[in-house]
Amino acid sequence: MKCPFCSSLDNRVIDSRLSREGDVTRRRRECSRCERRFTTYERVEEILPLVVKKDGRREAYNRLKIIAGMRKACEKRPVSSETLEEIADRIERFLQSRGDKEVPSAVIGEEVMRQLYELDKVAYVRFASVYRSFQDLDAFMRELKELIQERGGADGRKTRRRQGRRLAARGPMPRVGVRVP
């Protein structure tokens, strides 16, 4: 395994842990050259359905893309990377349980929203407000990035934080029309 910092192939495993469901081994490694640490995940290769995009193009299911989208929606929220990995696992089990060879990207988007709704209402609204208006993961990711950057500006984020958790949990108003169930 190549070190992501210096590309050295020489490293040692300092910790190894099995996920709660027992399907992923997480290994903490230390590079022998630069001594920095990184994590690798090992899992059995699973057959996941092809994703059918809105324009009809097919592409391979991309776990990293799903996690990157959720991570953006969860920016500055109390959500760990481990939780996002678990959600991705749940989404993959859901996709496999459908038993279809292909799945519309909208089905995945809806499932991500469902999971985020349970997890963190702010992340949910961020994701939903952008995703529902695009139904396309790539356009959505670009837009979400802008949205979060805007909100990170002079919109009283600090004030809101000071007003406490209860208020923050209610989340910002979505920019485009979205019904929060």
Q: Could you tell me how many residues of this chain bind Zn ion (CB under 5 A)?
A: 7
Distances (CA, A) of 8 to 2, 33, 130: 6, 7, 40
Considering the complex, what minimum distance in angstroms separates the CB of residue 28 from Zn ion?
A: 14
Considering the complex, what minimum distance in angstroms separates the CB of residue 16 from Zn ion?
A: 19
The window from 27-35, 39-47, 62-70, 85-93 that contacts Zn ion (CB under 5 A) reads 27-35
Beta carbon nearer to Zn ion, 11 or 129: 11
3 binds Zn ion (CB under 5 A): yes
8 binds Zn ion (CB under 5 A): yes
- Tell me the CA end-to-end span of the chain in Å, nearest whole number: 44
Beta carbon nearer to Zn ion, 14 or 176: 14
Q: How far apart are CA 52 and CA 60, in angstroms?
A: 9
5 binds Zn ion (CB under 5 A): yes
Any residues with CB less than 8 A from the CB of 83 and at least 6 apart, and which?
A: 119
2 binds Zn ion (CB under 5 A): no
34 binds Zn ion (CB under 5 A): yes
Q: How far apart are CA 122 and CA 115, in angstroms?
A: 12
Distances (CA, A) of 156 to 7, 99, 175, 177: 42, 46, 16, 22
The window from 5-13, 70-78, 79-87, 158-166 that contacts Zn ion (CB under 5 A) reads 5-13
Q: How far apart are CA 65 and CA 77, in angstroms?
A: 19
Q: Interface with Zn ion by CB under 5 A: which residues?
A: 3, 5-6, 8, 31, 33-34
